[in-house]
Structure 1
Amino acid sequence: MPLSTLQRRLWTSALVGGSAALLIGCAPLGQPPAASPSPAAQPGAPDGGGRPGPQGSAPGPASRPAAPRVSNAGTPRDYRQDAATHLYAANAERIYAGRLPPNLYAIGVLEVELDRQGQVQRLHWMRAPSHAPEVVREIERTVRAAAPFPQPARLGRVRYVDTWLWHRSGRFQLDTLSEGQD
């Protein structure tokens, strides 16, 4: 059975993260390796299919992004792809896998402003899901928790816009990486 685009991206993120963890765990000869994280902090594999998880499931310590990487995006639109990939990697267990159902709980359009180091400077709702203030708060918390984002090397500071597609289960997709709707 062929893998969906989201599944391929999640596997790629997991492979890159695992390789980075392996390299970080290597120490020069004569030095003890750095302390490894507790088993509770190890990332779990996202469950397959479009099965949503429990309402309000928040990312644990395992979903904290590793050291920031550098983005070579030349435009905010190109940077949006790097930011979405970063958010997916930081929240793998919260991504709605597969095509979204036709009726979503909330849809919001958020502008994110980042500094040269990828730190969140400002969040601005261009279209907030006003019927779901808890979703607004959770999206803002999720974006801030994912910092630092990839450093926008060619852009310096960057402002990008993405659309959040929120399922009632608390799982989401970003329009940039969405698999579409039924």
Structure 2
Amino acid sequence: MKIRAAIALTACVCVACSTRGPDTPSKRDQEAKKLINKTDTTSNATSTAFTFEGYKKDIAERIAEVNSTKVYIERPQALLRAVIVIKYVIASDGKLLRSELVRTNHDKAAESIALLSLNNTAPFPKPASHLLKNGKVEISETWLFNNDGRFQLRTIALPQMTE
């Protein structure tokens, strides 16, 4: 009986591994977000970051994780396609209250990707109470875009190439 169960389990694993995944980056992002939402409870938890910079890093890592197919994982190229700075406000419960473009080179596609990556990630982990001012925390983050349209967040980016 144990052998049959083991064979059945092996067959299921083989079928699951051979199933074709999503065909487009958008579908991959949707599937990744579903998996993260099923397994990740940080959006309902309080961040363990004690400092503002630590909380900002936690948020940047979460944005990169949720939007992984849009993130460039190597060093950013020397001459970037776009640099987008967004100021956003997170409430004490982790909800995204508002966001606004602070700096842009008017690359509408990059602006859209940056804003969507932020919105797709919400809600965020709750900030520690000592980081709040009037019940919220305000963060500015820089999206660094390579020519292929993928980005890194300055808070967690590798050093930019020089040539």
**Structure 1 length as normaliser, TM-score?**
0.63
**Distance between the aligned counterparts of 2:73 and 2:90, measured in 1?**
28
Note if contact 1:109-1:125 (Cα within 8 Å) is conserved in structure 2: yes
Note if contact 1:129-1:135 (Cα within 8 Å) is conserved in structure 2: no
Shift, 1:89, TM fit: 1.4
Unaligned runs of 5+ in 2: 1-15
Which residue of structure 2 aligns with residue 89 of structure 1? 65
Identity, in percent, stands at: 27
1:5-44 matched pairs, under 5 angstroms:
none
Which residue of structure 2 aligns with residue 101 of structure 1? 77
Select 1:128's aligned residue among 98, 104, 107. Answer: 104
Shift, 1:76, TM fit: 3.4
Q: What secondary structure sits across from 1:88 in the alignment?
A: helix
Note if contact 1:112-1:124 (Cα within 8 Å) is conserved in structure 2: yes
User: How far does the alpha carbon of each residue in 1:125-171 deviate from its partner, in whole angstroms, 9 at most, with x for none?
Assistant: 221231x0121122111111111111113234111111100112221
Deviant stretches of 4+, over 4 Å:
none
Which residue of structure 2 aligns with residue 11 of structure 1? none
Shift, 1:75, TM fit: 4.3
Structure showing greater radius of gyration is 2
Q: What secondary structure sits across from 1:109 in the alignment?
A: strand
Instruction: Return closer, same or farther for 1:63/1:169 CA change in 2, 3 Å cut-off.
Output: farther
Note if contact 1:118-1:148 (Cα within 8 Å) is conserved in structure 2: yes
Whether 2:124 is the aligned partner of 1:149: answer yes
**Distance between the aligned counterparts of 2:96 and 2:85, measured in 1?**
16
**Structure 2 length as normaliser, TM-score?**
0.69
Greater helix share, structure number: 2
Question: Which letter does structure 2 place at the counterpart of 1:179?
Answer: L
Counting matched residue pairs gives 128
Instruction: Return closer, same or farther for 1:150/1:129 CA change in 2, 3 Å cut-off.
Output: farther
**Distance between the aligned counterparts of 1:95 and 1:169, measured in 2?**
10
Of 107-116 and 86-95, more deviation after overlay is shown by: 86-95
Question: Which letter does structure 2 place at the counterpart of 1:153?
Answer: A
Which residue of structure 1 aligns with residue 142 of structure 2? 163
Whether 2:49 is the aligned partner of 1:73: answer yes
